[in-house]
Structures are given as structure tokens and as C-alpha cells.
Amino acid sequence: MIRRFSILTTQKTMSSKTPSAKSKNVPQRNHRNKSSSSNSPSNNSTKNSLNIWPSDEHRVVTFFCKNKNAINLDQHIAPFGTVKQVRFLTRKNVVLNRIEMSTSAEAKSLWERYRTNLLDGVLEVKADTYHTLSPNNNKESPRKVYEEHWSAEDIAKGVESGDVLTGRLRINPKMFKYAFVSNKVGKDIVIVDLEGRNRALAGDVVAVKLVDQSQNLDSPEPVSELCNEVESLNVAPNNDSGSSENANSPPGSFKQPRSFGKVVGILESNHSRLASGKIEIPKRGNPLFKPVTSGFPYVSLNQKDIDEKISKYDISKVLFTAKIKSWESDHIFPKGELVDCIGEAGEVATETTSILIDHDVDFQDFSPSVTDCLPKDLPWMIPQEERSKRRDFTKECIFSIDPSTARDLDDALHCRKLESGHFEVGVHIADVSYFVKPKTELDKVASSRCTTVYMVEKAIPMLPSMLCEDLCSLNPGVQRLAFSVVWTIDKKGKIYSQWFGRSIIRSCVKFSYDHAQSFIDNPDLDLDKPGDVEGDDVRYPPITGGFSLNLIKSKVLQLHEIAQNLRRQRIDSGALKLDQVRLAYTLDAESGMPNGCYKYVYKQSNELIEEFMLLANISVAHKIYKHLKEQAFLRCHPEPKQNMMEDVVSHCNEIGFQIDASSSQSLARSLNIAAGEDELADCRKQALFMLAIKPQQLAQYFCAGAVEDEELYRHYALNVPLYTHFTSPIRRYADVIVHRQLAYVLGDKSESNLMETDASVLHKQAQLCNDKKMNSKSAQEQSINLFFTLMVNNFGPLECRGMVMYVYDHSFDVISIEYGVVKRVYLEELPLLSFKTDETKRTGKDLQVNVLKLKWPTGDLEGRNKVGKQPPNYEQCGEGVEQTIDVFDIVDLVLFKSSPHSVRKFSVSIKRPDENAVTEQSTTARNSMF
């Protein structure tokens, strides 16, 4: 039975996922009045497809056969000489028979005979890109799979000449053969295939030599035989659990000119070389470790070393961890060792541990050397000498507003109306830097972890719980050390003065966002009346300090009015906010499995906190930069990747939306206008925002002295010249650094060692914070995907509405309106009579675009076969229910368990429209936009 899973409305957080992209599905969006060359790339040939024999050293010929038993090649090869070695590789529905002859002359004769006179069952015959299939018998001259890494001296010369650049390697988790390194101006250098990557892993700092690229990147086939060999082993499957902040580009060919390169050296091995996965025992050769995550290679293991470790397990059902120990240039795969068994695959705990390991998250208990840095005399009291150094806010009405489940309370606020009619507003942040002293073991582990990682079912803290949940947390009713920013501000948000300093506070109450929202929604209710307020089901927490609920409510309302004015000014000045659907889950108390999900609703109470946290971060950024300059630890947000944004703008314009991406302000305005004002406006906005998110880059920490151009300091989304992170030191190490810098600026000489720290050292810490932040984000997304997949598996099939985002020749991308996930629907997987690509003209526009035409059979679909990749002729397949798939159409989706079963992936299909009701609704809604 198909269920429409109910969505409740409450406040929790979650991110959405983006589906994998296959390069063969090129967006069909060329117009009749435009050249279609972008969809017909030139087929630049490589050596193995030329009509000449590559060289006198080549001895390998590859026969592409329909299947392994299609033909007995032995009798056809024997007359041409001695066969030295044969290797079979299976790719999709094709078997590669790679034949190594004893001499190049024998191989050339074999190739010349059969490349144009194909045998029955043989699809193609090519000269292989490898000279041989195995190392030469001369042990001093093994076959090189990868180029040797350059010396430091040669790399330095290359950098000086401009032929070599350095940067961090990023691997596309959706299409693992593509990797990227950004140049100095932020444009990507594309690195193709494993050879081009030359044994480097994601996160490594590499030296890249710029090269000419003659390969046809639009081809769905791998561009080298090494990639063939790897793909035949499914080393890096296209799984939907992958994620990267820059990997979600629209699939298809590179439409903008790209620069290409190859790795010639690994300068810093930042990847842990550790991964989770399964063990496969081949019929011959060493056992292989197959990683769960894409971008990590197979690892060759020693049989003797692993026998004892795997003997008590059914290796088909459990996940292990393995670590790379070495990777020589003459080995396709690295050599490694088996580290540990994680647990049974498919279990929530096992899969969560796997995700944490693959994202290099340190989730071990804190060592005794770290806990020894914590206060010993408990209960801890603020020392008297510390009180004299701080401003006392303990008499002030201070309160916190956080998620209801929060236990690490970083921030609190106060608001007091002044005689002038202005307001004193204070943001008080936990003073973590008081407890985390530089160069201690506690500081070392915090600077290594860099961030708290939030999974669906648990958090991996940056600091020990004594600090996170007690001594640093601004819990109500107890005195706590804080770092405060206090403004004199009017209700319109104009600032007249500001003060920074260390302080002592005592919060009187911990409110949830629901509590604060109830004040905003019911400003006139008298909350101090005895008994419950009629119709109000909110239960308020106890208040300490003798303050009344009505008094606190009035202060929340004052802050709310100021926050709304601040927000309006930010948006009017060009701030960009691309909201997405976020989900959270209710979990079974015993099993930990999801038993429901609900949509996060971002309320005005959230906006209240957001505005004052942003204001504090911006204020502190200006303060430390003014006084520290080169040492200032800041956060920038680069502009979107130009080529990707141009693709998105072109895509939107071609379907009738005029998107202006010249600035964050114009992008925000044009997206909101394009969404329209009809009943589908929210759905359309969700799809447009998802498209606009794809080209966005992640915000980055940096040290000002390491970046020469001050224009690069800007934060694109906030549209401000300077920004930093100050407000969450319990969960972000960057904020701890900023606290120390602000303390130094304010005269705390104990932080003078900061001025002795070279900008390059701080910038290296900034880079580590960036890496850990990205890993944390990706781990959280995969955790969310894991629990959503579990929900689909346990409660599915689930029905929901979807909006089409991209249309390709045999598939289309669709976003689930209820759940916010993006998936690809493959027409070949549907029980259709046929399908085809057709053209349609936009209503009111001189635009001719491609759409998909689907023809469904009438009657019961149960048990009907899939239409397949080569459907019957559309016009001759008989009558049926016809459906048009166009961008921004609404379709009915069905989410269901994938086959074979997986806890990391689920499948998607669409329902046959009943009497074209969905199609008619979609067409009417779409035409109303133009």
C-alpha cells in the first residue's frame, strides 16, 4: 500500500539532498533559433580510436563483446602469435577481452585483421591505451600506472613559471572521475580520471600541472582504460549519499571553457587515508577492501594479515575500516591494512559510525590528558580576582532562546529601554576561551576537531561535556563567564554606540523558539494571570531572578521589532537567503529507528536571534580587523562560480524566467519575482532556490594577512565587507580564536602570543576549520539521507508531489515539495509504452524548448515490464495515456525501497496521471507565469 506520509509542523533542523548526475543526461534546452552545437560536442579521438597503431611498444588489443560467452576468441587469435595474458573486464552490458600478445607486431596484425572485420558477437576492436597488461619481466622496469611525483625543486620551478599551481583537491562525489583544484581567482582546474589525480585523495594539497585536454568530456564512457578497469570493480559507485558543496552542478557537459590539469605532487596529505567499507575475496589475487564512499580507491590487503581479523565474521554483512599504507606508481590500487570491524551493515549505529569515519570525524572519548585540563574543584565557582576584571550583568534580565532540545547554550540577550527612548541591547556569548587556554591538550583537541558535528540521532562535541553542557553553557539561574557586545540602538536599528568586553551574567530563563514565538503571536495576552491562558498550549519554563513573564515578554517584543527592522535593511541592501525545506525525525526510543518526520518552520523568533547574532559577528569583525589587520581571523563568502551560475541563468531564461545574477541583491529579487504569486509560488520558489544554490560556494575562514585583495574579504550572501564568527565558541573553534583576538584588542595581555603568530599559521588553522566544517556538513547531510532512506524503507512506498527542475533526453530531475529531496527519474525504469523528446513553444515567448512525451498503457500497471532504454516507436506503439514532462511541471512521485536493498539509497518513480489531471494543472500553472 502506498502511503502519503503526514508532515507535522514544528521546529527542528535538517538539510536536503541532491541526486547523482550522469554525464550522458545532457540538459535538452537548445532553441530552434540557436545553434545546437552545445548538444553535439565534437568527438575528439584518442590514441586507441585512431586508424593507426599507437606505437611499437604496444602489445594489447581489446575486444568489446556482447557478453563473456558471445564468442571463443582463442581460435581466432592463435594464428597471429603467442598470447601472453588475457584479462576480462565487465562494464555495464559489455565485456572487455584485453589480449596481450608477445610482441607488438603480433598485436598489430591481430588489430588490423579484426578492427574493420568484426567477428560475430564483437562490438568493437581497439588498440589498448596500455602497452602491456602486466609489469615487464624485468623487475627494474615495471609498468607505470601513474607518473612519478615531481621533486620539490621541480614543483617550485613550475609554480614560478606559472605552469604549476597548488591547491586543495576536491573530488566530485557524484561522478568520481572528475576532481577539481581552484586557481588563485577561484576558477576550477578540472582533473580527469585516476591517472590525472595521481594517487591524491580529497583534501590533499596538491601541485597541478596545466595540460591540454583533447579528451571528449561529454562522452558517458570513461576516458581511459584505467578508469574502465576501476569501474568494472565498482570502486566508486554513483550513490545518492554523496555530498559536496560544489558538486551539485547541473549534470551534463562542461558548457564553459575549462582549464585542465594533472597532479604532479602531493604537498600535504590531509586525508586520513582511512575509510569504511566491505571486503571482497577474488578468486585470485589479494583480498580487496571496497570503500563505501566514492572518491576513495580500492585497497589491496594481505591475505595472511586479515585472516584472523575476519574469521569470525560473515564479511558480506559487516563493515570494516581499512587504512592506506603505501601507493606505488606501478600499482593501480594502494596497499593497506585492515583496522577494525565496525558492525553489521544496515544498522543505524554501524552506518553512522561509517559516515563519521569517512568524514574524518574524531568521535573517540576525550583522553585523560584532555580532561586533566578541566577544573578540578567542583562545583566550580567564579574566582574573585576574575570578577574584578569583568562587567557585572547579573542584575540584568538576561534570557536565552534556543531549540527546545539544546543543551549547549552559547548565547543570551538582554534589552533595556533607556530614558532617551533608545534601547540598550546586549548579546552575551559563553566565554569558552577562559577555560580553553592556548597550547594545552584541551586546546589541541579543540583545534583539531574544529567543530561539533550534528548527526540526526546524536552530536559529536568539540569540547568535553563538562564545558559544553555545564561550565560554559549559559544555563539559567547560575552565574557564567561571558563575552558581551552591547549596543545603544533605536527601534529602527540605528546604532549610536557599542561596547565590547568580558562579563559575568546570570540568565533568568531558557526559552525555546516556540516560547518566544508565542509572545510574538500573542502580544496582548497577560501571561502573569493565574491559570492557563485560554487556547494557549505553550508551557513556559520556571523563571529565576524575580522577573515576571510579562516583563520578559515585553523585552522579547522590543527585540523582535528591532530585529525585523534590521532584517528589512539587510534584505533591501542586497542580502541573499536561499531557504530550503528542512526535515527532522522522531526516533523510536528503543531501536533508534525513525518513526516519523516533520518539516522545520523558520519563524520570526528564529529571525530575532539570527539578526542579533549577525550584528554581533559583523561588529566584532570590524573591531578586530581595525586593530589587528593581518592577524584578524575573518570569514568570507566568495561569489558563485561564474560558469555554473551562467548555466543556471541560461537554463532559467530559456524556460521563460529572467534571472539577474549580477549581484546578490539582483539575484534575490529576480528569484522572488520569477516564483510568481499563484498557488504554486512556494513550490516554484523552492525549485528556483535549489537551482540557485548549485553554483554557490561555501563561506571560508581566512586570516587577513594571507589574502592580499580586500575585495576577497567580502561576504557575498550577507553583502557585507567584513564578517567573522564570534557567537558559537562552544561548537566552533574559529569563534574561540576570535574571542582571543578580541580580548587582546581590549587589552588582555595574556593573549599577546596571538601577535607573535604568523599570519600563515593562522591561515593554516583557518583552512583546517574550513575542511572540518565541510566534512561536518557532508556528514550531517549523509546522516539525514540515511534516516530518510530508512523511513522510506520502513514506511514506503511514500507518495508526494514533485516539481520538475531539469529535463534531459531520457530522464528528468524533480524536487519533492514535501521533503525537499532532489531525485532523478529515469524513463527507462517506468512501465511506459514509449517515450520521446519533443519540442514546444513557450506561451507568450519566442522560445522553442525540448520536453519529454510519455505514453502510459491503460489498465492495471501491476507486473508490467519497464519500457527499457530503447522504447518502441512512439507513434506506432498504440493508444495510451499521454503525459508531457516540462520544467516546473507538477508530478506525483512515489518514493520506494531500492533494489538491491540499501540503507543509503532509495528509488523514485512517478504515477500515471489520471485523465491527464496533473498534466492539465501543471500546464495551466506554468502558462500563468509567462
Is 537 within 8 Å of 517 (Cβ atoms)?
A: no
Please give the helix or strand (H or E) that residue 784 lies within, else none: helix 759-795
- Give the whole-angstrom CA distance, residue 109 versus residue 61: 10
Beta strands 479-489 and 459-460 are: unpaired
- Give the whole-angstrom CA distance, residue 904 versus residue 899: 12
Average pLDDT, the chain: 83
Residue 417 lies in a domain: yes
Question: Would you state the pLDDT for residue 310?
Answer: 84
DSSP state of 811: E
The C-alpha torsion from 641 through 646 and 651 to 657, rounded to 10°, is: 110
755 or 636: which carries more pLDDT confidence?
636
802 and 681 assigned to the same domain: no
Backbone dihedral region for residue 424 (phi beyond 0: left; psi -120 to 50: alpha; all else: beta): beta
Helix, strand and coil in the chain, % to nearest 5: 30, 25, 45
For residue 832, give the CATH number of its domain. 2.40.50.140
- Give the whole-angstrom CA distance, residue 348 versus residue 270: 28
Q: What's the pLDDT tens digit per position in 454-480?
A: 999 999 999 999 999 999 999 999 999
DSSP state of 226: H
66 or 114: which carries more pLDDT confidence?
114
240 or 890: which carries more pLDDT confidence?
890
Residue 411 annotated as lining a ligand binding site: yes
In the predicted model, is pLDDT for residue 220 greater than 70? no
Residue 549 pairs in a beta bridge with none
Cell readout for 122 is 564483437
User: What average pLDDT score do residues 599-616 get?
Assistant: 95
Residue 712 lies in a domain: no
Contacts of 465 (CB under 8 A, 6+ apart): none
User: What average pLDDT score do residues 20-28 get?
Assistant: 38
In the predicted model, is pLDDT for residue 30 greater than 60? no
Question: Would you state the pLDDT for residue 101?
Answer: 86
Residue 652 lies in a domain: yes
588 and 675 assigned to the same domain: no
Q: Assess whether the previous peptide bond of 297 is cis (omega < 30° from 0).
A: no
Residue type, 227: C
For residue 79, give the CATH number of its domain. 3.30.70.330
End-of-domain residue from the set 115, 130, 162: 115
437 and 544 assigned to the same domain: yes
Question: Would you state the pLDDT for residue 39?
Answer: 34
280 and 399 assigned to the same domain: no
Is 398 within 8 Å of 484 (Cβ atoms)?
A: no
Indicate the range of 388-392, 601-605, 789-793, 843-847 predicted with least confidence: 843-847
List, as one string, the DSSP characters of 480-507: EEEEEEEEEE-TT--EEEEEEEEEEEEE
**Can you give 616-638 as a three-state secondary structure string?**
HHHHHHHHHHHHHHHHCEEEEEC
555 and 660 assigned to the same domain: no
- Give the whole-angstrom CA distance, residue 164 versus residue 172: 22
* Domain encompassing residue 317: 274-345
Cell readout for 787 is 534516516
Residue 20 lies in a domain: no
Beta strands 594-600 and 583-587 are: antiparallel
Beta strands 188-192 and 178-182 are: antiparallel
End-of-domain residue from the set 100, 115, 130: 115
User: What average pLDDT score do residues 229-258 get?
Assistant: 40
373 and 433 assigned to the same domain: yes
Residue 147 lies in a domain: no
Number of H helices, E strands in the chain: 21, 36
Contacts of 6 (CB under 8 A, 6+ apart): 596
Question: Would you state the pLDDT for residue 780?
Answer: 94
Residue 607 lies in a domain: yes
Question: Would you state the pLDDT for residue 616?
Answer: 98
DSSP state of 207: E
647 and 747 assigned to the same domain: no
Residue 827 lies in a domain: yes
For residue 330, give the CATH number of its domain. 2.40.50.700
User: What average pLDDT score do residues 177-187 get?
Assistant: 78
Residue 788 pairs in a beta bridge with none
Backbone dihedral region for residue 829 (phi beyond 0: left; psi -120 to 50: alpha; all else: beta): alpha
Round the CA-based radius of gyration of the chain to a whole number and report it. 30
DSSP state of 836: E
**What angle is formed at CA 242 by the lines to CA 795 and CA 199, rounded to 5 degrees?**
150
Name the maximum alpha-carbon separation found in the chain.
Answer: 104
Number of domains in the chain: 5
In 364-435, which ranges are continuous DSSP H helix?
Answer: 368-371, 384-387
How many alpha carbons lie under 13 Å from residue 719 in its C-beta half-sphere?
A: 17
Residue 465 lies in a domain: yes
464 and 584 assigned to the same domain: yes
End-of-domain residue from the set 97, 115, 133: 115
820 and 922 assigned to the same domain: yes
Q: What's the pLDDT tens digit per position in 590-605?
A: 888 898 888 888 999 9
390 and 506 assigned to the same domain: yes
411 and 447 assigned to the same domain: yes
652 and 624 assigned to the same domain: no
